[in-house]
Amino acid sequence: MLRVLKAGFYTTVQDSGRFHYRNKGVPVSGVMDEMSVFKINSLLENNESAAVLEITMTGPTLIFEEETYMALGGAKMSATLNNLPIKNYKVYEINVGDILSFGRLEKGFRAYLGVKDGFTTKEVLGSKSFYKPITKANRLADNDMVPFEVQKLFRPKISEIKVSSFLDDSVLEVGKGPEFDMLNDKQLEGIFSKTFTVAHENNRMAYQLTETIETHSISMLTSATIPGTVQLTPAGKLMVLMKDGQTTGGYPRVIQLTDKAICILAQKKGGDSISFKLL
C-alpha cells in the first residue's frame, strides 16, 4: 500500500486506457504522456498497461507502507526520497516507511510514479484510469490508500536510463483532420504560422489555445473524435482534445496530433507556447 499524506494539485491513477466503450460515450482516458510512462514501465519490467500515478503540477507526499521498487519520469519536480534528491528514470528500492515527496516544478507539467508490477486499484469497465463518474473519484485525496503487490526480490536488468527529453520541444507535428480541406487559406496560414499560447483552460479533457484564427460557419453532423483531435470553434478558437476528451463532437476536426505531439502537449501548462507543423 501507498498512503497519500498530501494529494498535491491533481494526482490520479492511470493505465493505458479504457477501451471498447467509446460507442457508449466513455472517453478512453489513460496516461496523458505515454512516452514517459512507457520508459518507466520498461525500466521496472512491467506490462505496458501497468497503472502509474499521474502527478500534475504540484506533487503529493506519499509514504510506502510495503516494500517495492519505484521509478519516476515525465516532468521534473525536484523529487526526494526520505529527503534525498532522486532522479527520473532510475529504479529505487523502497523500504517500509520511505517517504516520497516533490518540490518545485522545474520542467514539464505531469510527472509519473511507477512501482514494480503497477498499482492494483480496482478496474472499472476494464481500466484503472480515474474518470468521474466511471470511477468514484476523479483524483486522489489526502489519506487515500493506493494498493500494490509487495516486491522484495526484483533485480532490474537496467537500473537507470538516460532519456532524450522532449520537455523543451514546442513544435507539435500534426496530420490532416477529417475537415482539414474545409479550411481557407487564411485559416491554414493562421494555424501553421502562428505561435499559440496554452490557455489556462487546460486539463485532461482538452487544451484550449489563447490565440484565435479566422472565424467560420462550417456546419457538420456530430461525429467521432479521438485524443489529439484539434477542433475549430465558430469563434476561431482551437481546442485540442486530450485523453478524457469527449468521444464525439460537432466542431470541424481540422488537424490531428501525432502520438508524440500529444505527449509533448501533455507536458505544457497555461502560458507555454506551441506551434503546429504539418507532416
Contact positions vs another protein (CB under 8 A):
19-27, 124-125, 133-135, 175-178, 220-224, 226, 228-229, 246-249, 253, 256-259
Instruction: Please say which residue, 211 or 259, places its beta carbon nearer to another protein.
Output: 259
* Cα→Cα distances 12→28, 31, 231, Å: 15, 9, 26
Instruction: Please say which residue, 20 or 152, places its beta carbon nearer to another protein.
Output: 20
Cell of 187: 485559416
Nearest to 256 by CA among 181, 172, 177, 192: 177
- Element housing 81 (H / E): strand 80-81
Instruction: Please say which residue, 151 or 247, places its beta carbon nearer to another protein.
Output: 247
Task: Report, in Å, the least distance between residue 23 CB and another protein.
Answer: 5
Task: Report, in Å, the least distance between residue 105 CB and another protein.
Answer: 29
Euclidean distance between CA atoms 138 and 192, whole angstroms: 35
Alpha helices in the chain (DSSP H): 34-43, 185-193, 259-266
- Overall residue count recorded for the chain in this entry: 279
What residues form DSSP beta bridges with 208? 239
Instruction: Please say which residue, 97 or 234, places its beta carbon nearer to another protein.
Output: 234
Q: 79 exposed, middle or buried (CB, 10 Å; 0-12, 13-18, 19+)?
A: buried
62: number of Cβ within 10 Å:
26
Instruction: Please say which residue, 25 or 85, places its beta carbon nearer to another protein.
Output: 25
Task: Report, in Å, the least distance between residue 29 CB and another protein.
Answer: 11
Task: Report, in Å, the least distance between residue 53 CB and another protein.
Answer: 22
Euclidean distance between CA atoms 169 and 267, whole angstroms: 10
Task: Report, in Å, the least distance between residue 246 CB and another protein.
Answer: 5
Task: Report, in Å, the least distance between residue 40 CB and another protein.
Answer: 18
Instruction: Please say which residue, 222 or 275, places its beta carbon nearer to another protein.
Output: 222
